[in-house]
Chains A and B, each alone.
Chain A
Amino acid sequence: MTPLIELSGISKTLKGQGAPRNVLSGLDLTLHSGQSVAILGRSGSGKSTLLSLIGLFDRPDEGRYLFCGKDISRISERRAARLRSDEFGFVFQRFFLLKQLTAAQNVAMALVNGQGWLSRRKRRARIMAALDQVGIAHLAKHRPSRLSGGEQQRVAIARALVRAPRVLLADEPTGALDTETGNLVVDALHASTARGCGLILVTHDHDHAERMGTVLRLGEGKLHQAGPRVRA
């Protein structure tokens, strides 16, 4: 079966104000449909850089990136935008909800993005289905200021799910939440894999990582199988 994502020999050097830093070096990763992968690693190990390469925010310096068997390593920005819209869902540590919009309107951001146009009725149906999927359909008309942190993150997840993506990328989605709320968020994310969605979760939280099918650790620019957890 063709993997959803297949990275091989991916390298990335970040060029900032200081000396160039080799963040990823010959990294390999495979993600299948319905598979969930947790990526652990120290701050600055390159987790977010890896996620930005997978999410087509950036391009690798070297290596090959296959999506559903097609090489998209050097894809144009226009096609990348199309793929981000149709195939990927993103959840970030900060929720990035627009405070002037309601929960439903925030979810609609992913639908009103210039990649096709849905009638108001269809759009509303999909938005409500996505909110219902994360259990907050009743909060559709609430603005972010009236929602708790967990509810806001679930709105962000609904925004990621509303176009029924094949891959869900979550960058420390529970970082700003308490443990209990974080668990609810991870539940909502994990539920998407039951529908065949591939999930990559970047996290510092071992408990959340262990709920994923595969746990990898990023170090020295490469992914390794995570060792057994050492408890204090």
Chain B
Amino acid sequence: MALSGRFRSALVIGGQGIRARKLRTLLSMLSLFLGVLAVVTVQAGLEIANRALLADVELNRGKDGTTILYVPPSAQTVPVVLETVRDVPGAVAVIQASAVIGEPGVSPLYCELDGSCQPGGGGRGFEGPKSLDGAQPPPGQAIAVQLNGLSGDIRQFRPFQADAGQWLDFSGPPSLSPSIVLNRSAAKAFTQNRVPAELQINSGAQHPTPRFTGVVHDAGYGPFAYVRADELLNWLPASELANQNGPGVMVLLAPSARGVEQTLRARLTGQGVSADQFFTETVNSREHYVDQLNLLRLIFFGMAGLVLLIGVAGILNVGLATVGERVEEFALRRAVGMPRLLLAGIVLAETLIIGLLTALAAIGVGIVGLNLASEVLGSREAMLRDVTFPWQAGVAGVIAGLAAGVLGGLIPAIRAARIPIATVMRA
């Protein structure tokens, strides 16, 4: 109760002090504003950069905690893998095959991330289908892509951003005309080069007509296409599955589905696949990037801290001047029974309120600034597109404001508490 009374007294009197010296309060806030804004900006920038970095890594590799099991290609591998992960939540098999969409029997175009394409495999693209006689076929209207046959919705691991159309529908029976979802890079290539709708998978002789149903952003480094695994297998010859250079297989497992790994290993070993041919990797991107981000954080916060220190000096200066001006008031308050500690508390309450108000102002400016930056620069900078103000930056701003309030108010508070009461007798 006594503490509550003192706390309330400090807030009431601190509030009165601030109202009575509005201009001085404003000047204190101005001196602190840049410092707190610097902290808010640094924290917001780092959080946004962190999110953008991790978001791209998540799109490309998978969420942290995802286990990726690479399975060697063999005739038995694909059916066993698909059989094992079927209807298991948190487990998706990916069958990777080279494919060409367009004119059959020609050298396809190999496309870059920006959609620029060149013939002859000079790019970073994937191996296109080989001609049956081994001779280099003539260049033609076709584009090489990496085809990913999915046994389920991969977006639980890699949260692709939908750019257009629909994602794959895994609920119905497989179609003989495979539904294909392209990534941005592939979509760009198909926008810039008109090719016939004919799909050739590895060296398969059958050429189904694909249906493009959507475009996603997968942070992939080349043209990728996603298709249902069962629709892919309809057109992938059995000889391709047995080929050592045939489709690669990997299984993505959520932490809740780690048990599937043991089952899969056991079943594949039973099929004659050697245990040392498996390769397992767990995605842990945050830990990988945390060191780099911490170094950046240290550098930027060091700079923001210096600016904040100038603000603290401003509050300290104004605080000392205010205490000097209010000597009689403080002596009188002590004379009417106010304890020294509470007197110090009043001065601290004032600087804390100033720090808090400044923090709120800086956070407000930060939110408005970020929204503006997102609107103006969002079209050019993907990192700023649809970005929201990170709560961590708000917390950092409030902490910086309060810390500056304490640092700037401490010495004036101690001085106020030491004012002798007899001052009022001698006045």
Which residues of B have CB within 8 Å of A52?
421-422, 425
CB–CB B339/A57 < 8 A = no
A residues in contact with B13, CB < 8 Å: 112
Enumerate B1-50 residues with CB–CB distance to A below 8 Å: 1-2, 4-6, 8-10, 12-13, 16, 19-20
- Pick out which of these stretches binds chain A: B78-86, B106-114, B327-335: B327-335
Chain B residues with CB under 8 A of A96: 328-329, 332, 424, 427
**In the complex, B380 has a CB within 8 A of chain A:** no
A171, B329: Cα distance in complex, Å: 17
Q: Per-residue 0/1 for B325-361: is the Cβ within 8 Å of any A Cβ (1 yes, 0 no)?
A: 0001100111111111010000000000000000000
> Known contacts A51-B425, A96-B328, A100-B16: does B338 contact A81 (CB below 8 Å)?
yes
B5: contacting residue among A81, A110, A114, CB under 8 A:
A114
**B426 contacts partner chain A, Cβ-Cβ < 8 Å:** yes
| Cβ contact within 8 Å between A114 and B425 | no
Please state if A116 and B5 are interface contacts (CB–CB under 8 Å). yes
- Are the CB atoms of A171 and B337 closer together than 8 Å? no
A117 touching B427, Cβ below 8 Å: no
Q: Is the CB of B424 within 8 A of A114?
A: no
Measured between beta carbons, the chain B residues less than 8 angstroms from A77 are: 339-340
> What's the Cα separation between A82 and B5 when bound, in Å?
14
Contacts of B338 in A (CB 8 A): 81, 85, 113-115
Q: Is A90 an interface residue (CB 8 A)?
A: yes
| Complex contact A48–B337 (CB within 8 A) | no
Interface size classification for chain A: 20 to 34
In whole Å, how far is A48's beta carbon from the nearest beta carbon of chain B? 5
Contacts across chains A and B counted by CB atoms under 8 Å: 90
Instruction: Give CA–CA (A81, B336) in the complex, Å.
Output: 8
Query: Do A109 and B333 have beta carbons less than 8 Å apart?
Result: yes
Cβ of A21 to closest chain B Cβ, rounded Å: 14
Q: Would A113 and B9 be within 8 Å (CB), given that A78-B339, A81-B337, A98-B329 are in contact? A: yes
A48, A90, A114: the one contacting B339 at CB < 8 Å is A114
Q: How far is the CB of A76 from chain B (nearest CB, A)?
A: 11
- The answer for the CA separation of A116 and B4 in the assembled complex, in Å, is 8
- Min CB distance A13 to B, Å, is 14
With A77-B340, A81-B337 as known contacts, state yes or no: A48 contacts B426, CB within 8 Å. Answer: yes
Which residue of chain A is the closest to B328 with respect to CB atoms? Answer: A96
Task: Determine the chain B residues whose CB is within 8 A of the CB of A81 once the complex forms.
Answer: 334, 337-340
Q: Which of A62-92 contact B (CB under 8 A)?
A: 77-78, 81-86, 90, 92
List, in ascending order, chain B residues with CB within 8 A of A101's CB: 16
Q: Is A34 an interface residue (CB 8 A)?
A: no
Identify B336's interface contact among A58, A109, A116, A171, CB under 8 A: A109
Q: How far is the CA of A109 from the CA of B8 in the complex (A)?
A: 13
The complex places the Cα of A105 from the Cα of B6 at a distance, in Å, of 17
Q: How far is the CA of A77 from the CA of B422 in the complex (A)?
A: 14
Q: How far is the CA of A212 from the CA of B370 in the complex (A)?
A: 73
With A81-B339, A84-B335 already in contact, the answer to whether A100 and B19 are too (CB < 8 A) is: yes
Distance (Å) between the CB of A93 and the closest chain B CB? 8
Tell me whether A144 is interfacial, beta carbon within 8 Å. no
Q: Is A159 engaged at the interface, CB distance under 8 Å to the other chain?
A: yes
Report A169 CB to chain B, min CB distance, Å.
10
Give B332's nearest chain A residue, CB to CB: A96
CB neighbours of A78 from chain B (8 A)? 339
B425 near A57 (CB under 8 angstroms)?
A: yes
User: What's the minimum C-beta distance from B162 to chain A, rounded to whole angstroms?
Assistant: 57
Of B2, B5, B10, B421, which is in contact with the most chain A CB atoms at under 10 Å from its CB?
A: B421
Neighbouring A residues of B10 by C-beta, 8 Å: 114
Q: Please state if B9 and A117 are interface contacts (CB–CB under 8 Å).
A: yes
Decide: B425 and A113 in contact? CB cutoff 8 A: no
Interface flag for A55 (CB, 8 Å): yes
Q: Which residues on the B side are within 8 Å of A98 (C-beta)?
A: 20, 329
Question: Are A109 and B421 within 8 A (Cβ)?
Answer: no
Quick check: is A124 within 8 A (CB to CB) of the other chain? Answer: no
Taking CB atoms, residues of chain B closer than 8 Å to A114 are 2, 5-6, 9-10, 337-339, 342
- B12's nearest neighbour on chain A, judged by CB, is A112
Chain B nearest CB from A185 CB (Å) reads: 18
Q: Which of B4, B337, B421, B424 contacts A113 (CB 8 A)?
A: B337
Report yes or no: B336 in contact with A117, Cβ–Cβ below 8 A. no
A51 to B6: give the CA distance in the assembly, Å: 27
Tell me how far the C-beta of B264 lies from the nearest C-beta in chain A, rounded to whole angstroms: 69
Tell whether A204 is near chain B: CB-to-CB under 8 Å.
no
**Judging by beta carbons under 8 Å apart, are A92 and B336 in contact?**
no
Tell me if A85 and B336 are in contact (CB < 8 A).
yes
CB nearest to A156 among chain B residues: B332
Query: Which A residues lie within 8 Å of B8 (CB)?
Result: 112, 117
Q: Does A94 contact B (CB under 8 A)?
A: yes
Taken together as a complex, chains A and B put the C-alpha atoms of A55 and B420 apart, in Å, by: 13
Alpha-carbon gap, A117 to B262, bound state (A): 68
**B5 CB contacts on chain A under 8 angstroms:** 114-117
Query: Which of B329, B337, B342, B425 is A92 in contact with, Cβ under 8 Å?
Result: B425
Q: Which 8 A-B pairs have the closest CB atoms?
A: A85-B337, A117-B5, A100-B20, A114-B342, A57-B421, A114-B6, A113-B338, A84-B337
A sample of 25 inter-chain contacts (CB < 8 A) reads A48-B426, A58-B421, A81-B338, A82-B337, A84-B334, A85-B337, A85-B338, A90-B336, A94-B424, A96-B332, A100-B19, A101-B16, A109-B332, A109-B336, A110-B337, A113-B336, A114-B337, A114-B339, A114-B342, A115-B339, A116-B2, A117-B4, A117-B5, A117-B8, A117-B9
6 more CB-based (< 8 A) A-B contacts, given A85-B338, A171-B425: A52-B425, A57-B420, A81-B337, A96-B329, A98-B329, A113-B9
